[in-house]
Structure 1
Amino acid sequence: VHVSEMSWTKKNVHPGKIVSTSQEVEVMVLEIDQAKRRVSLGLKQTMRNPWEVFAETHPPGTEVEGEVKNITEFGLFVGLPGDIDGMVHLSDLSWDQRGEEAIQEYRKGDVVQAVVQEVDTEKERISLSIKAVGGDKFTEAVGGVKRGSVITVVVTAIEDGGIEVEYEGMKSFIRRSDLSRDRSEQRPDRFSVGDKVDVRVTNVDPKTRRLGLSIKAREIAEEKEAVEQYGSSDSGASLGDILGAALKGDD
């Protein structure tokens, strides 16, 4: 029995760490070479492939608990049932931090919760995600928000280049040029922390976990809607007449 056929999980170890002298073992005949008068046997073949067992009992989306066995520049290796390891890549450690920062918080021996992403039985590889535990906050927060939606945000910071706002716990930044369709009103200092502002969603990016927001786009859309509802550009009505009619309609 060649050492490579002794264990699914213990690679490159001395046979004495797997079996002992005089121990009776059950083996499988792998090959009979009559010319060399040699019989090749396998010990691990009498047991099920632990990656196949894990794949059956832990389909993608299953939450698991394990101990951090090793930490590398690529991520964490976590011990799993069946004496096998799963890997959490740097990109799957945190929604909010860069992987290189997030991995600093872990130590060997830490017990972590993770979600099974993929099990490759042929390559004997299991992909895990720590950030997926508890679901994706971004998706939950912006589930009903689409490009073109108008939402209400709260101003959290005033900067020279624009304002930082928050929606359902998610931070976004509105650039100075998007603060108003009127150039004279594109001043961050006209806002205060805590102000509630209606904005139009210009982009939803799940990868960067950012919402593109614009007050200017909301104002332009509202003006276009008013023109369509109360007059047209060739009807002779001025924008002032149209908006005046819109305001009276609101009253």
Structure 2
Amino acid sequence: MELNIGDIVEFNVEKIIKGGFISHIDDSEIFLPKSLSGLKEDESVIGKKVKAKVKEFKENSVVVDRKAYLNEIKEKLESLKEKIISANVTKVKNSGLVIDIDGISGFVPKDEIFYKKIDHKKYISVGDDVEVMLVDPVRRIFSIKKALPNPWEEIKDLNKGDVVKVSVSHITDYGAFVDLGNGAEGFLHISEINWDGMNDLTLGQEIDVEIVEINTDEEKLRVSRKNLLDKPAEEFSKKYKKGDILKGVVTKFINVGAFVEIDGISVLLPNKFVSFKKGEKASDVLNIGDEIEVKVITIEPENNKVIVSRKDVLSNPYEEFAKNYQIGDNVKGKVKHITDFGSFVDLGDVEALVRKEDMKNEYNVGDEFQGKIIELNGDKIKLAE
């Protein structure tokens, strides 16, 4: 390889000697003086790939100047400010794109590629030419977005509360991104999609949304579809009233109970209204898809609140128990759960409490218990050994 003064050479640092660094290009020894390197004189630079300008030729080596090369690059970069320039993609990474501009390498972070939240790896390949604009000359950071018309400028007159038509551009586990039609995207959280908290959207679907937060300088937009939909409780109140006994289907379990669908409207069945047994949860006695009968006990359209009870349509097992037993009778059951103040015993359709002071022995959950009834008052049954 024939070299001339001023040529740019690229090499890997092979070793450190007094006063600089040594490498080779073909049969030529390359010497990079420490004063012209801009590198630390320690083992971390061994193997590092660097570029430098040929400064002079000596008898046994070619002297190169990395600082001169870097200054030349800096001057070139300064001349690129606020200009739209063509670059070639040399690497496509998860974090962005490595580009080349007339021998100068640069980087386009993934957030500077598209205004939309899409996977750049599906749209850009090595060898593609892209138009970029310099945003950080020190770190050689470029932006494709800055070289394009800014869609956020087009929507700067929109305000909180405005209703706009959008299309669903991306669906995630926590919601969806929606396109305003010009490339600007807003975020629609799953809790704002509808009143059920379920994501029923499809890609490309056109919907109306209300703007709940907008900051065009920060390219931030949050929208709500739910705010434009009728509250399910309002629809429910048009058909039914408190006290109605209805049939519904169990659709979902949550910590506090279950959702039951009645005529396409989701209502809440709290755990405390599932059965007469204390501590029993909806998921303990019901399955998704079960059709059950419930009684409407609360309708609050303004708060979008409908509560139903399964317990209120069941025959009261405590009343039946009181018909067949009285204080002093002996009964058998199994210990269901244990608390600091005693244990609850499962007697079939009902539960009874045995306080610690009324127990002679120690029990574990699942143990058989036999005792006599010492209190029988509605749904309060107490036993003692």
Q: TM-score range by the shorter chain?
A: 0.3 to 0.5
Please state which structure has a larger fraction of its residues in strand. Answer: 2
TM-score by length of 2: 0.30
Higher helix share: 1
